[in-house]
Structure 1
């Protein structure tokens, strides 16, 4: 097992810190959306697509690929 030298460990810490700084700079430049607008858009989308939403309408047993083909029988 190779042991890291103090220099290698310091270089690794510097690289990690640089990656974090780069990520934070990218996030700082991103355009932010107002929560109220985004929530309203989400509600509008959900209401417009509720007829085709399987979580609301359910899945017919004939078209459900995950339904068990066999039944469990206990003796």
Structure 2
């Protein structure tokens, strides 16, 4: 929670520097925006995307896309 507050303070300071301070709304008083945020303890990884199966010719793929477009237009999308 402390890191979230610190990050919010840093973002607010940057916004104030660019847009001007709206003084009086700083509810994060007492938080040092220059304090370092601790490194995360866990390393996150994301699943790799499956390879694209290229089992259609360009003409077949284009025909399928055009069919989808017609269906979307009929539905008003």
Tell me if both proteins adopt one fold, taking TM over 0.5 as the criterion.
no
TM-score by length of 1: 0.29
TM-score by length of 2: 0.29
Q: Which has the higher helix share?
A: 1
| Greater Rg over alpha carbons, structure | 1
